[in-house]
Amino acid sequence: MEKKEKINLYIISDSVGGTANTLGQAAMAQFPEVEANVSAYPFIRGEDTLRSILEKAKKDNALIVHTLISSDLSEIIADYCQEHHLFCFDVLNPVVKEIERRTHTHPLKKPGILHQLNDNYFDRISAIEFAVKYDDGRDPKGFLEADIVLLGISRTSKTPLSMFLANQNYKVANLPLVPEAHIPDLLWKVDPKKIVGLTNDRSVLNSIRRERMITYGLNPETGYSKIDRIDEELAFAQELYQKLDCLVINVATKSIEETAAIIVNTLQLDRKKQSF
């Protein structure tokens, strides 16, 4: 059996090193007959640590791929590799410098900023999962963990609004209001500033509910769509909102985006007031 060629690859980064590692692995994938010994050095921020890694790289005659955004560190690694005839590939700085030259703006030079953006993505996924888990009052425990708790009778846009807000990284739980149903005790433990009561015009609700029954192939003239029943539900919801002293929004003429903007702006304003 023929012996494989070997190569040492050093991945050096001031963050997790995902970008440099992906690039190195992509390059090595083109050489399946070569045995790659990959050494990863993430979160490198100090000169002494970097120099000790470079000494090891010199002994291993390693290829170096790095994403050090610090000008000082990237210059150290470039000078060292030139002096000792080591291959070194700077992934970020050439592109960053060209963007700086063309736009006449200055880069942040902040390590790990892409990783922070990825964290934002995962926070959004977590918020969406939260909204699904605590949709339609499935588990009142979610009220205490939520950033926003939406209340409303049927057809006041609770679920689509929950998902829209979740895409803005807000953890949202919602509860359908029915006069005959018990209001969970945990709701009274939630900060009223996090609670939003949704309402709608009786005529709009009547039309929406009739259309929903027709879509299901059912008689539109049911208790669900009758004006008397709608009035009863609206009165029940309004009384609860008054007791909770929460924000109330009529969604009759508002898009999901408009309603969400009102909620977010109110929430942020309350937080600013609390910070003073």
Q: Count the alpha carbons within 13 Å of 98 in the hemisphere toward its beta carbon.
A: 5
What is the pTM assigned to this prediction? Answer: 0.60
3-state secondary structure of 13: strand
Q: Which two tokens stand for residue 188?
A: 């009274």
Is CATH 3.40.1130 the classification given to domain 120-275? no
The full 3-state SS of 205-226, as one line of letters, equals HHHHHHHHHHHCCCCCCCCCCC
Q: How many CB atoms lie within 10 A of CB 246?
A: 19
What three-state secondary structure class fits 139?
A: coil
Which CATH architecture best describes the domain 5-111? 3-Layer(aba) Sandwich (3.40)
What is the per-residue pLDDT across 104-119, written as a single tens digit (0 to 9) for each?
Answer: 998 887 776 655 655 6
Better-predicted residue by pLDDT, 268 or 258: 258
Query: Is 122 exposed, middle or buried (CB count within 10 Å of its CB: 0-12, 13-18, 19+)?
Result: exposed
Helix (H, G, I), strand (E, B) or coil at 1: coil
**What does the pLDDT read at residue 240?**
98
Q: Which helix (H) or strand (E) holds 24?
A: helix 18-28
Looking at residue 268, its pLDDT comes to 81
> What is the dihedral angle through the alpha carbons of 42, 48, 52, 55, rounded to the nearest 10 degrees?
120
Mean of the pLDDT values across residues 77-94?
94
Averaged pLDDT, 95-101: 89
Is residue 193 pLDDT above 70, yes or no? yes
Both structure tokens of 250: 């009529």
Give the per-residue pLDDT at 271: 66
Alpha-carbon separation of residue 155 from 158, 195, 200, 224, 241 (angstroms): 8, 18, 8, 11, 17
Per-residue pLDDT at 251 exceeds 60: yes
Domain boundaries, the chain: 5-111, 120-275
- The answer to whether domain 5-111 and domain 120-275 are alike in fold is yes
Mean pLDDT (the chain) is 90
**Token output for 118:** 């990825």
Give the integer Cα–Cα distance in Å for 119 and 166. Answer: 15
